[in-house]
């Protein structure tokens, strides 16, 4: 008799988040601020830009050590709650909403932060997992988060999913990998006999690096007993995704990558989905189940392309006159 195993996530009818919830209880700390302000910002090279500022209790020195931030969020929640921060648990729309920020306007980034909270990126390390001072030992957070950091994180998430989708049928060219800050020399080292396998393994390593940090997701056990004297002990697995939405985003991406052979990006709504039917041909558009209904996405895409062709034809005609 085969051992019992969880059912795989099938198509787009069940999001990665709901799939995880079917296996684990979950603990997360998605804290939403009472307000988000857009303020002027100057990067380390002196370039002026924009950043999001999040409120903190009066007298709290910044940047805040991650250890102190962890204590405040987990053990002393009233410190932030007293100035209007609140906790949210619903993350079903988190991933597609975040992917839109890859090319989102300033207002879109601000609205997202108002709904989901800060990135909580470490201000001390570009990659905490590779830091030589011990994971989390010197990590700090600044309540001033550059808009460029938000777009960069969303662009990386989108690039990972695009690479995963294209790896279904072919090796991915350097132009796409470049969006993950990969240099040409590193890319050339992947071009071995089994190119797609090398790329899939490198992609998994890059995603693992996004998960590794001071707030990496972890699985732990939780036990409880009911109120009645004869109640048995109930022990469950708990997935702790840590502080903020960023870790939850990358964990949802991991759930998609675990079924890498079925990951695709919808040409209609641009959402990642797992395809329960045959693979699309490389030279054809592919659509998720929602966009396939009544061919609505195909019709919309045809209209957009028709307008683009007419515009191009008009410009060409004007240039020839």
Q: Give the per-residue SS3 of 113-175.
A: HHHHCCCCCCCCCCCHHHCCCCCCCCCEECCEEEHHHHHHHHHHHHHHHHHHHHCCCCCCCHH
**pLDDT value at residue 279:** 63
Mean pLDDT value of segment 289-311: 66
Residue 168's Cα: distance from chain center in Å?
A: 20
Q: What confidence tier does 252 reach under pLDDT thresholds 50, 70, 90?
A: confident
Q: Where are the domains of the chain?
A: 16-281, 287-321
**pLDDT value at residue 85:** 93
Q: What confidence tier does 3 reach under pLDDT thresholds 50, 70, 90?
A: very low
Q: How does DSSP assign 98-114, residue by residue?
A: HHGGGG--HHHHHHHHH
pLDDT in tens, 162-204: 898 888 778 888 988 999 888 888 888 877 656 888 898 899 9
Mean pLDDT value of segment 246-270: 76
Q: What is the mean pLDDT of the chain?
A: 77
């Amino acid at each position: 008799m085969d051992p019992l195993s969880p059912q795989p996530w099938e198509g787009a009818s069940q999001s990665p988040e709901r799939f995880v919830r079917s296996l684990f209880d979950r603990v997360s700390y998605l804290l939403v601020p009472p307000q988000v302000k857009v303020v002027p910002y100057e990067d380390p090279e002196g370039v002026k830009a924009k950043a999001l500022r999040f409120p903190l209790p009066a007298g709290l020195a910044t940047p805040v050590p991650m250890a102190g931030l962890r204590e405040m969020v987990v053990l002393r929640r009233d410190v932030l709650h007293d100035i209007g921060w609140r906790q949210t648990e619903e993350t079903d729309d988190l991933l597609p909403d975040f992917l839109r920020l890859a090319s989102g306007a300033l207002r879109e980034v601000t609205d997202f932060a108002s709904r989901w909270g800060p990135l909580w990126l470490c201000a001390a390390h570009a990659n905490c997992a590779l830091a030589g001072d011990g994971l989390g030992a010197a990590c700090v957070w600044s309540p001033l988060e550059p808009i460029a950091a938000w777009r960069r994180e969303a662009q990386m998430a989108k690039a990972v999913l695009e690479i995963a989708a294209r790896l279904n049928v072919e090796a991915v060219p350097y132009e796409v990998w470049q969006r993950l800050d990969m240099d040409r020399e590193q890319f050339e080292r992947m071009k071995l006999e089994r190119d797609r396998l090398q790329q899939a393994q490198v992609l998994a390593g890059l995603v693992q690096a996004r998960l590794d940090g001071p707030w990496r997701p972890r699985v732990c056990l939780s036990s409880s007993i009911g109120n009645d004297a004869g109640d048995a002990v109930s022990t469950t697995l708990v997935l702790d995704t840590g502080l903020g939405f960023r870790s939850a985003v990358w964990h949802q991406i991991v759930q998609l990558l675990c079924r890498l052979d079925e990951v695709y990006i919808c040409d209609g709504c641009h959402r990642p989905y797992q395809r329960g039917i045959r693979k699309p041909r490389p030279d054809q558009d592919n659509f998720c189940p929602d966009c396939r209904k009544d061919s609505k996405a195909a019709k919309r895409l045809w209209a957009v392309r028709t307008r683009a062709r007419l515009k191009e034809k008009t410009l060409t005609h004007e240039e020839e006159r």
